[in-house]
C-alpha cells in the first residue's frame, strides 16, 4: 500500500509542477487512476450482466424440473460448474478498492494550503466550501446514474425494471449520503469525489451503449 501511496503522491506532485494548480492536478490524477482501473471495472459490469442471465437461467431450470428434484440438482451442479468463472470474475471489483482508498488519502494529504482556478470562490483546498457548491455538485453527480434505467435505450439488462418510487428513494438516499460526506469535507476531496463520480457516470453510459450494440453472451 505504501508503494501505491508513494507513486500516486509522486504523480500528483509532478502534475502540480506541470499544471501549477493542485485542483487541476487532482482532477487529472483521478481520471488517470480511473482509466487505469477501467478494464477491471468493465469486467465487473460484464460479469454483473452475466450474473443476471445466470439468475434467469437458474429460475428456468427450477421451473422446468420442479417435479424432479434429482434432475434439478444434477442440472444445477452442471450449470454452476460451467459458470464458475463468472462468479470468480466478480471479485475483480475488490481489486480496485485499495487503489481508490490510497488515492483518497493522497488527496487528503496535500502538503500545502493552495487555491485552484476550478473553485475560485475557495482560497484553500483544505477548507470546506462555505457556499455548499461542491456538495451540491457532488450530490447531483451521484444522483444522475439512478435515472439511467428510466431511459428505454439505457436499460442494460432485460430483468432491469424501472420503478419511479425506487428511483426516487435511491436518489434521496444517495443525495443525503453525498451531502453528509462532502458538506464538511475539504474542497480537495470534493474535487476528487466529483471527478470520480462523473467518470463513473460516463463509464456507465459507454457500457450501456456498448452492450446494447453487442449483447454479452452467457
Residue with cell 427450477: 62
Q: What is the pLDDT along the chain (218 residues), one digit of tens a residue?
A: 578 888 888 888 899 899 999 999 999 999 998 898 888 788 777 777 777 777 777 777 777 777 777 767 776 676 666 555 554 444 545 655 676 777 777 877 776 678 899 999 998 888 889 999 999 898 888 888 777 666 555 555 554 555 555 556 666 666 677 777 788 888 888 898 899 889 988 888 888 877 777 665 55
The pair phi, psi for residue 112, each rounded to 5°, is -145, 165
What SS3 string covers the chain? CHHHHHHHHHHHHHHHHHHCCHHHHHHHHHHHHHHHHHHHHHHHHHHHHHHHHHHHHHHHHHHHCCCCHHHHHHHHHHHHHHCHHHHHHCCHHHHHHHHHHHHHHHHHCCCCCCCCCCCCCCCCCCCCCCCCHHHHHHHHHHHHHHHHHHCHHHCCCCCCCCCHHHHHHHHHHHHHHHHHHHCCCCHHHHHHHHHHHHHHHHHHHHHHHHHHHCCCCC
Residues in the chain, overall count? 218
d(CA 215, CA 218): 10
Contact of 3 with 95, CB cutoff 8 Å: no
User: Which cell numbers in the block locate residue 114?
Assistant: 493552495
CA dihedral (50, 41, 187, 134) positive or negative = negative
The pLDDT of residue 133: 92
Amino acid at each position: 500500500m505504501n508503494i501505491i501511496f508513494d507513486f500516486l503522491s509522486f504523480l500528483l506532485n509532478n502534475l502540480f509542477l506541470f499544471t501549477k494548480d493542485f485542483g487541476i492536478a487532482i482532477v487529472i490524477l483521478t481520471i488517470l487512476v480511473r482509466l487505469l482501473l477501467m478494464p477491471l471495472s468493465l469486467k465487473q459490469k460484464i460479469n454483473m450482466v452475466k450474473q443476471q442471465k445466470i439468475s434467469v437461467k437458474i429460475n428456468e431450470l427450477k421451473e422446468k424440473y420442479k417435479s424432479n428434484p434429482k434432475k434439478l440438482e444434477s442440472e444445477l451442479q452442471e450449470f454452476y460448474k460451467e459458470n464458475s468463472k463468472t462468479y470468480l470474475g466478480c471479485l475483480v471489483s475488490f481489486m480496485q478498492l485499495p487503489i481508490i482508498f490510497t488515492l483518497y488519502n493522497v488527496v487528503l494529504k496535500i502538503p500545502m494550503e493552495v487555491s485552484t482556478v476550478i473553485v475560485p470562490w475557495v482560497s484553500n483546498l483544505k477548507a470546506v466550501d462555505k457556499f455548499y457548491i461542491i456538495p451540491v455538485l457532488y450530490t447531483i453527480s451521484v444522483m444522475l446514474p439512478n435515472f439511467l434505467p428510466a431511459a428505454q435505450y439505457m436499460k442494460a439488462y432485460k430483468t432491469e425494471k424501472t420503478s419511479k418510487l425506487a428511483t426516487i428513494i435511491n436518489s434521496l438516499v444517495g443525495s443525503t449520503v453525498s451531502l453528509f460526506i462532502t458538506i464538511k469535507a475539504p474542497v480537495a476531496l470534493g474535487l476528487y469525489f466529483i471527478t470520480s463520480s462523473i467518470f463513473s457516470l460516463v463509464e456507465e453510459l459507454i457500457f450501456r451503449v456498448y452492450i446494447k450494440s453487442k449483447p454479452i453472451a452467457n
